[in-house]
Amino acid sequence: MSGMLTGKHALVTGGGRGIGAATATALAAEGARLTLLGRDRDVLARHARARHGEVAILVNNAGIAVSVPFPKLDEAAWASVIGVNLTGTYHCTREVVPAMIAAGAGRIVNIASTAGLVGGKYIAAYCAAKHGVVGLTRALATELTPKGITVNAICPGFTESEMLDRALSGIVASTGRTPDAAASALLARNPLGRFVRADEVASAVVWLCRPEADAITGQTIVIDGGEVQH
């Protein structure tokens, strides 16, 4: 344990699986005390125990996606995707910011997506939500950085996770392709030629929370193997 974040209370949403779980593990290795939020209590309990104290690090990771042609995107699905990805980020951030302002320090890292930077077929709600997360990140950085709080977004591409597994299963079901062919289709324009690993995203989160990242705020850091270059 390097201890660069020793004693800091980190709250990670969607902390039971995928990027959230990898982030929790990486933060713990740096000495952070963890509180994890998610939908599966048993899964969360395997990673960390909730602790009390003001939050010094917030990682807004919880997210859901719906893949459907826009004419079939009903209001309930739209509201659900916007609610979890964007409104959830708003609520969690609003809860921790007053204490961060009082402390004169804080780190907020929003897990957005490359879908927050470019459009994509059949994911209109997800794109809208993640573009909103990127916009919120930039606005909050402008407002909160003078108070000692950095706010950044990480935009992963397709990352090894249950969400990716569901996307691949959907492609297989709708097109009749094999799982390997479905994966190849998603990676067709990816120079790296593979999916992002959750620990690669987690490493970037931890870096943004370290003291050497004090001057980094309002940024969108893309981790996608070079697929989206902006």
Active-site amino acid positions: 126
Which residue, among 71, 65, 60, 75, has the nearest Cα to 20 in the 3D structure?
60
Helix (H) or strand (E) holding 107: strand 106-111
Element (H, E) at 140: helix 124-144
Please report which helix (H) or strand (E) contains residue 59, including its range: strand 57-60
Count of C-beta atoms within a 10 Å radius of residue 140: 22
- Write out the DSSP string of 189-211: T-TT-SPBPHHHHHHHHHHHHSG
CA distance linking residue 115 with residue 222, whole number of Å: 11
- Report the C-alpha gap between 182 and 110 in whole angstroms: 28
